[in-house]
Amino acid sequence: MTKLSVNINKIATLRNSRGGNNPNLVKVALDCEQFGAQGITVHPRPDERHIRYQDTFDLKAVIATEFNIEGNCKEQKFVDLVLANQPAQVTLVPDAEGQITSNHGWDTIKHQDYLKEMVGIFKNAGIRVSIFVDPVIEMVEGALATGTDRIELYTEDYAKHYLQNREKAIAPYLAAAIKANELGLGINAGHDLDLDNLKYFAQTIPGLLEVSIGHALISDALYLGLQETIKRYLAQLSQP
C-alpha cells in the first residue's frame, strides 16, 4: 500500500499565529502516527513562518515512523539542518525565497551537476533522497543521472484538472511513472492531493510508494477530526 506522510506545516502556522505552543506540534505528529500515518513531513523555510528549525530536532527525537524533511538545498542552513537530524528522507524542492508554496519541480537537466553534488552529500550521510519534479519524461531521466533514490511528482496540475477530465489530467503522470519504474527510481507524489482525487491517482500510478499531504488533510480535519481524516485518507490509498 502507498504510504501516507502527513505534512504538519499548517499546524505550525496555527501555533505561530498566537505564539506559545498551542497546538502542540509534537503531540499532533505523535497523534498522526497513532491514527495510522506512516510518516511525518515538514518543510522548513528560512523565515520560519511555520516549521521552525528547532521543530525538526524536537520531532526527530520522538517520531517512530518515517521522517521526511522537504526544502531548498541551496540554503546552507537547510542542508545543515537535514544532516544534523538524519531523517529517513530528504526531499529537494526548488523553492524561491519568500515563496508561499512549492509551484514547480527541478529542471534536472539544467541543474544536474548541482543536484548530483547535493544528492551525494545526503546519500553519503545515509539519508534517502527524493527530488521534486514535474511529470515530464526528460526531467525523470535527468533525475536518474543525479543519483537520487526517488522522485516526487508535483501533482498540482493533476489536481487542478481532475474534475474536468481525470484521464487527461493523469496522463503525463502515468507516463512519468512508467519511465521512473523502467529506470528503477522510487515514486512519491504530493501537492493538492485530497479526498476527491487521491484514490484515482493511487490506483492509476504504478509503483507509487508515498504521498505527502498537508493542506487538504489539515483542512478536512477541521470538520472531520484528525483521527477520522487520517482514516479516510488511508482508505483512499488502500481501496482496490
Residues belonging to the active site? 43, 70, 191
pTM to 2 decimals?
0.94
What does each C-alpha distance from 18 to 21, 61, 126, 186 come to in angstroms?
9, 25, 37, 39
* Angle (deg, nearest 10), helices 25-34 and 53-60: 40
At 63 the pLDDT is: 97
At 35 the pLDDT is: 98
At 200 the pLDDT is: 98
Place of cell 499546524: 11
C-alpha–C-alpha distance, residues 72 and 45, integer Å: 8
CA-CA-CA-CA dihedral for 220, 132, 159, 34, to nearest 10: -20
**CB of 29 within 8 A of CB of 15?**
no
At 105 the pLDDT is: 86
At 33 the pLDDT is: 98
Which CATH number fits the domain that encloses residue 223? 3.20.20.70
Domain range for 75 is: 3-238
Mean pLDDT by 10 residues, the chain (240 residues): 97 95 98 98 92 97 98 93 98 71 78 96 98 97 98 97 98 98 98 97 98 98 98 91
Q: Per the structure, how many domains does the chain have?
A: 1
3-state secondary structure of 39: strand
At 97 the pLDDT is: 56
At 99 the pLDDT is: 46
